[in-house]
Amino acid sequence: MKTEQIIALIMAEIDRAEQLHPAWPHDLVKASAIVAEEAGEMLQAANDYDESRSGKRQIITEAVHTAATAIRLLKNINLEGNGNE
């Protein structure tokens, strides 16, 4: 898969996710937990693939979800005013 295709999938997922779930947690632990949850689903898809219970498409889908949530986390980090920059 070409990088351009990957980026397009991720951007489409960000748009979809922001429409479905416009609110994003301000708490960085909660926001990071969302990313970790998606990464866990990606790992589960890879494990299922390894055990011949799913296809590579599911891994790709979960990898895109993981990337999209990581980007949403980065988009929503407020570097102003917390003193921990």
Under DSSP, is residue 13 helix (H, G, I), strand (E, B) or coil? helix
Mapping DSSP onto H, E and C, the string for 14-50 reads HHHHHHHCCCCCCCHHHHHHHHHHHHHHHHHHHHHHH
In a domain, 30, yes or no: yes
- How do residues 10-62 score in pLDDT, each as one tens digit? 999 999 999 999 999 999 999 999 999 999 999 999 999 988 878 899 999 99
Cα–Cα–Cα angle for 1, 49, 12, rounded to 5 degrees: 40
In a domain, 82, yes or no: no
Number of domains in the chain: 1
- Give residue 55's domain range: 3-76
In a domain, 23, yes or no: yes
Give the single-character DSSP code of 40: H
In a domain, 66, yes or no: yes
Bigger pLDDT: 10 vs 78: 10
